[in-house]
Amino acid sequence: MTVEELYEMRDRERERLARLRERIYCCSAAGCLSCGSESVRRALAAEIEARGLKGQVEVCGSGCMGLCSRGPLVRTQSDGAIYAQLTPDEALWLLSEDPAERRRLEAKRLDLNDPFFTRQLKIVLANSGYIDPESVHDYVAMGGYQALAKVLTEMTPEEVIEEIKASGLRGRGGAGYPTGLKWELVRRQPGDIKYVICNADEGDPGAFMDRSVLEGDPHRVLEGMAIAAYAVGAQQGYIYVRGEYGLAIQRLQLAIRQAERERLLGNRIFETTFGFRVDLRIGAGAFVCGEETALIASIEGKRGTPRQRPPYPPERGLWGKPTLINNVETFANVPPIIMNGARWFASIGTETSKGTKVFALAGAVRNTGLVEVPMGTPLRTILFEIGGGVPEGRQFKAAQTGGPSGGCIPAELLDVPVDYESLAAIGSIMGSGGLIVLDDSSSMVDVARFFMEFCMDESCGKCIPCRAGTVQMHEILCRFSRREATRQDLELLEELCVLLKETSLCGLGQTAPNPVMSTLRYFRHEYEARLTDREGGAQ
Amino acid sequence: MSAQTSVNSPERSSGQAVDQRAKMLERAMSRHHYAGDALLEVLHTAQELYGYLSPGLLREIARKLRLPPSHVYGVATFYHFFTLQPRGEHTVMVCMGTACYVKGALGLLEVLERRCARAGSTSPDGKVSVGTARCVGACGLAPVIVWDGEILGRVTPQELNRRLDALAVAEVRDDG
Ligand SMILES: Cc1cc2nc3c(=O)[nH]c(=O)nc-3n(C[C@H](O)[C@H](O)[C@H](O)COP(=O)(O)O)c2cc1C
Ligand code: FES
């Protein structure tokens, strides 16, 4: 297709949508699906058919609308309202032209002036809940693939890289490496064959941001990858997606087929000399495969064990070729940066952390779900205004970010701004976006033990500090859980923290002690209270 | 997901089905030109078709892809997703992600381990395979189980017990 044809397709779809009296979006993300959103959608579709409303009213699926704890969520296009916990029968009232019918649902209508909605800023999730993720036309109608058209017809690869550098975008996969610099590294490597990989392995065991992006707006990720491929000089891309993410895999497969059919992927995209293909690689349930060198080994069909870096993947990656690896959310930020400009993006966030971050908010908060906020938003705002605070008279105890590589943030630090540096300074990390709230019923020793058990199970066994160290640390933490630990155990635990951090081969082992170190830092008394030889004698 | 759980072990199916599956596996391998680096894709397909990876199946794949059997076995056992044991009629996974853990997933796993089998194995009567997962993306509904591929949220031990009762899973004394 040509650029003109893209605009025609956009306008045609916009006109078609404008002719509809109503379009009803039923959230079809994992959370709402398990609350029966499919039966709501089926009921609506059947009724539209039966009443002959085709061409006037349309029902479709959509990506995550955010407030997962109140599912199934349904959004109506004509008035922008979102309804929560609808039954199939109730949903049918939305089909009537008589406004009185709709008013019967007033009690189920969400207040969009609630801080949950007003405090958020959606860039990555801008389309989620507003388009049918199974339709390329919907994505194009929202301006999709225009950024790709722009870079291919108006920008040199160097200009694209400059734009991304100027935007200040940093990797959303955890480490926060500047994205533009990484692209430049790959671009500078000699050789014709280069690869672009999208890391969709999302390993943090309490997080589903990337999954929601893939399920809700898969074309956005493809477009971001294609722009990256043009910038670095790659013709082939891979998306490495978790095997557990069945729906995301289906949606991606469909999106790739649609993009190929419309010639938005493949040879001579927009009639230029640039060609790019994307293949899916399905993970098989190994956390360590989120680490970039392990991920590459896994795509090559081997056991997913990491290797020593350097050389880093930009120099020597997939099949020994220069390879760019970025996270799903990183790629999803690229098209809006190209369309709205680096300056726009850089105006959001803090000095060193630009743009927004998506968090999967869960645990002991009223509103659980998916939220996106500008970098630098105080943690308190996210948890208490957006999240609605801790329910039912329980007390806030700590927030955990960064999953098994992260740390716990106690109540006295709730005003910390959420950006890479501030979180690191207090012993946690931004991580990929898992944000779990713990109340006073949780034992911090138990939380540390939980994450250590995870790291122990997931250690690939290649390096000894991680393989043996996680087992030892887990064993000691179990002794604390059983109240059988001694002072010597506590000392050994602290010693092992340093050992793992400094001598492990990859990030898994290096960061495995983080949950222990941060709970020791802020909740040491909980460990000491469990010592058998603590001052004042045994229990 | 549902495809995997509905496939039974080869012994339980008719000869014709076996034939069909072997053909489909062959097709998957030829699509990848019998390249060794397609091993993961081939294993995924094999498990989808047969439900699990038997020693014979692994040897066959090794031969066709011209890989040492030790390599194929090494890869198949490295990844949690692959199972070398036949599955039960039903597969029940408890999400042990952080959100589910803090909301009582352990209690659900205890019910399953007491009544059915340890995580990662199948009950003696072959009815239920028990497994654990790490965050299935429905943290807002924690604790979550995946029952034959269907995500169920806010599950209580009572509800889980009722579901097991419905399968006539007997209350066993201790897991053995
Ligand atoms: C043990 C381990 C697990 C990781 N898991 C993920 C993951 O699930 N998703 C991800 O994007 N990055 C993960 N990473 C980080 C990647 O190695 C890599 O830094 C990242 O994909 C780069 O993309 P970015 O620059 O866009 O963040 C992990 C790293 C380690 C050490
Ligand atoms: S932790 Fe269980 S669904 Fe996320």
pLDDT tens profile A315-349: 999 999 999 999 999 999 999 999 999 999 999 99
Q: How far is the CA of A439 from the centre of ligand 2 (A)?
A: 17
A473, A527 Cβ separation under 8 angstroms: no
Domain with CATH 3.40.30.10 in chain A: 16-112
A405, A514 Cβ separation under 8 angstroms: yes
Quick one: average pLDDT of A40-48?
Answer: 97
The pLDDT tens digits for A519-533 are 999 999 999 999 998
DSSP designation for B156: -
The pLDDT tens digits for A373-386 are 999 999 999 999 99
Quick one: average pLDDT of B74-88?
Answer: 92
Query: Is residue A74's pLDDT more than 60?
Result: yes
* Structural domains present in chain B: 16-78 (1.10.10), 90-166 (3.40.30.10)
Is any Cβ of chain B less than 8 angstroms from the Cβ of A320?
no
Quick one: average pLDDT of A160-179?
Answer: 96
Residue A207 pLDDT class (50, 70, 90 cuts): confident
Q: Measured between alpha carbons, how far is A148 from A229 in angstroms, rounded to an integer?
A: 11
Q: What is the pLDDT of residue B6?
A: 37
Domain with CATH 1.20.1440.230 in chain A: 444-528
- Whether omega for the bond prior to residue A311 falls within 30 degrees of 0, making it cis, is yes
Domain with CATH 3.10.20.600 in chain A: 356-439
B78 contacts in chain A (CB < 8 Å): 286, 303-304, 460
Amino acid, res. B168: A
Quick one: average pLDDT of B68-87?
Answer: 93
Atom of ligand 2 nearest to the CA of A205: 1
For ligand 1, atom 29, the nearest C-alpha belongs to: A291
Query: Is residue A419's pLDDT more than 70?
Result: yes
Residue of B5, B45, B98 best to disrupt the A interface, most CBs of A under 10 A: B98
Quick one: average pLDDT of A103-107?
Answer: 92
- Contact map slice: A 164-203 vs B, CB within 8 A: 203
Q: Classify domain A16-112 at the CATH topology level.
A: Glutaredoxin (3.40.30)
Minimum CA–CA partner of A459 in chain B: B78
What's chain A's Rg over C-alpha atoms? Answer: 24
The pLDDT tens digits for A477-502 are 999 999 999 999 999 999 999 999 99
Q: What is the pLDDT of residue A473?
A: 98
Q: How far is the CA of A440 from the centre of ligand 2 (A)?
A: 20
**Contact yes or no for B139 and A360 at CB 8 A:** yes
Query: Is residue B174's pLDDT more than 50?
Result: no
Atom of ligand 2 nearest to the CA of A208: 4
A369 contacts in chain B (CB < 8 Å): 140
Is any Cβ of chain B less than 8 angstroms from the Cβ of A73?
no
Query: Is residue B169's pLDDT more than 70?
Result: no
Q: Which residues pair with A396 in a beta bridge?
A: A439
Which value, to the nearest 10 degrees, does the dihedral of the CA atoms of residues A457, A284, A303, A506 take?
A: -50
Quick one: average pLDDT of B41-68?
Answer: 95
Query: Is residue B13's pLDDT more than 80?
Result: no
Query: Is residue B2's pLDDT more than 70?
Result: no
Quick one: average pLDDT of A24-35?
Answer: 91
What's the order of all strands across the beta sheet hosting A74-76?
A57-62, A22-27, A74-76, A82-83
For ligand 2, atom 1, the nearest C-alpha belongs to: B97
CATH number for domain A444-528, candidates 1.20.1250.20, 1.20.1440.230, 3.20.20.150, 1.10.8.50: 1.20.1440.230
- Contact map slice: A 267-306 vs B, CB within 8 A: 281-287, 298-304
Percent of chain A with pLDDT over 70: 99
A203 contacts in chain B (CB < 8 Å): 134
Query: Is residue B4's pLDDT more than 70?
Result: no
Residue B3 pLDDT class (50, 70, 90 cuts): very low
A143-346 under CATH 3.40.50.2300, yes or no: no
Q: How far is the CA of A441 from the centre of ligand 2 (A)?
A: 19
* Cβ(A171) – ligand 1 distance below 6 Å: yes
* Cβ(A493) – ligand 1 distance below 6 Å: no
- Confidence (pTM): 0.94
Q: What is the pLDDT of residue A458?
A: 94
Query: Is residue A70's pLDDT more than 50?
Result: yes
Q: What is the pLDDT of residue A538?
A: 46
Quick one: average pLDDT of A269-292?
Answer: 95
A200, A160 Cβ separation under 8 angstroms: no
Q: What is the pLDDT of residue A61?
A: 95
Q: What is the pLDDT of residue B173?
A: 44
Q: What is the CATH number of domain A356-439?
A: 3.10.20.600
Minimum CA–CA partner of B102 in chain A: A363
Quick one: average pLDDT of B113-118?
Answer: 94
A207, B138 Cβ separation under 8 angstroms: no
A341, A363 Cβ separation under 8 angstroms: no
Residue A350 has phi, psi (to 5 degrees) of: -110, -175
Residue B10 pLDDT class (50, 70, 90 cuts): very low
